[in-house]
Amino acid sequence: MNGKAPTKSLRISVRGVVQGVGFRPFVYRLAHEYGLSGWVRNTSGSVEIEVEGQEAAVDRFITALKAEAPPMASIEEITTAPMPPKGHTDFVIVSSRAERGKYQLVSPDIATCRPCQEEIFSPGDRRYRYPFTNCTNCGPRFTIIKDIPYDRPRTTMGHFKMCSDCQREYDDPLDRRFHAQPNACPKCGPRLELADGLGNAVASSDVIHSAADLLKEGKILAIKGLGGFLLACDATNRQTVHTLRERKRRLSKPFAVMMASLDDVRKHCLVSSDEESLLLSPQCPIVLLRWQEAQSDVCSEVAPGLKYLGVMLPYTPLHHLLMRETNLPLIMTSGNLSEEPIAKDNDEALRRLGHIAEYFLLHDRGIYAKYDDSVYTVEQGTPRAVRRARGYAPYPIFLPFKARPVLACGAEEKNTFCLTKDEHAFVSQHIGDLENEETLQHFEDTVELYERLFRIEPEIVAYDLHPEYLSSKYALGLRAEGKPGLRPVPVQHHHAHVVSCMVENNVKAPVIGVAFDGTGYGTDGTLWGGEFLVADWKGFERVGHLEPVPMPGGAAAIHRPYRMALGYLYGLTGQDILLEGLPILGRIDSEEVAIIKHQVERRLNSPLTSGAGRLFDAVSALAGVRGVVDYEAQAAIELEMLATDVIDPADSSCYPFSIVEETECRVLKLADLISAVVEDVEKGVPAPLISARFHRTMARIIVRMCRLIAGDRGIRLVALSGGVFQNRLLSRLTLEALQKEGFEVLTHRLVPCNDGGISLGQAVIANFALS
As a three-state string, the secondary structure of 47-62 is EEEEEEEEHHHHHHHH
3-state secondary structure of 597: helix
pLDDT digits (tens, 9 = 90+) for 438-493: 999 999 999 999 999 999 999 999 999 999 999 999 999 987 677 778 999 999 99
pLDDT at 180 over 50: yes
pLDDT at 1 over 60: no
With pLDDT > 70 as the criterion, what percentage of the chain qualifies?
99
Long-range contacts of 554-558 (CB under 8 A, 24+ apart): 554/605, 554/606, 554/607, 557/614, 557/617, 558/518, 558/519, 558/614, 558/617, 558/629, 558/632
What is the mean predicted confidence (pLDDT) over 69-81? 89
pLDDT at 2 over 60: no
What pLDDT sits at residue 575?
67
What pLDDT sits at residue 368?
96
The whole-angstrom separation of Cα 534 and Cα 718 is 9
The whole-angstrom separation of Cα 247 and Cα 338 is 10
* Residues 6+ positions from 441 with CB-CB distance below 8 Å: none
> Over 678-732, what HEC string results?
HHHHHHCCCHHHHHHHHHHHHHHHHHHHHHHHHHHHCCCEEEEECHHHHCHHHHH
pLDDT at 710 over 80: yes
* Neighbour count for residue 591 (Cβ, 10 Å): 8
Instruction: State the pLDDT confidence band at 3, using cuts at 50, 70 and 90.
Output: low
* Residues 409 and 403: beta-carbon distance below 8 Å: no
What is the mean predicted confidence (pLDDT) over 722-744? 97
The whole-angstrom separation of Cα 523 and Cα 465 is 8
pLDDT-wise least confident of 210-219, 260-269, 482-491, 633-642: 482-491
- Of 436, 303, 461, 323, residue with least CA distance to 375: 303
- Of 653, 633, 637, residue with least CA distance to 699: 653
- Looking at the chain, the number of H-run helices and the number of E-run strands are 22, 29
* Residues 458 and 451: beta-carbon distance below 8 Å: yes
What pLDDT sits at residue 642?
97
What pLDDT sits at residue 22?
83
The whole-angstrom separation of Cα 417 and Cα 427 is 6
What is the mean predicted confidence (pLDDT) over 525-532? 97
β strands within 596-692, DSSP E: 608-609, 658-662, 665-669
What pLDDT sits at residue 703?
98
* Residues 611 and 561: beta-carbon distance below 8 Å: no
- The one-letter code for the residue type at 297 is D
The whole-angstrom separation of Cα 408 and Cα 418 is 5
The whole-angstrom separation of Cα 449 and Cα 379 is 34
pLDDT at 384 over 70: yes
Cα–Cα–Cα angle for 250, 228, 238, rounded to 5 degrees: 35
Global pTM exceeds 0.85: yes
pLDDT-wise least confident of 19-33, 115-129, 374-388, 601-615: 19-33
pLDDT digits (tens, 9 = 90+) for 238-258: 999 999 999 999 999 999 999
What pLDDT sits at residue 648?
85
pLDDT-wise least confident of 64-68, 96-100, 225-229, 555-559: 96-100
What is the mean predicted confidence (pLDDT) over 643-667? 91
pLDDT-wise least confident of 17-21, 33-37, 224-228, 281-285: 17-21
The whole-angstrom separation of Cα 588 and Cα 580 is 9
Instruction: State the pLDDT confidence band at 771, using cuts at 50, 70 and 90.
Output: low
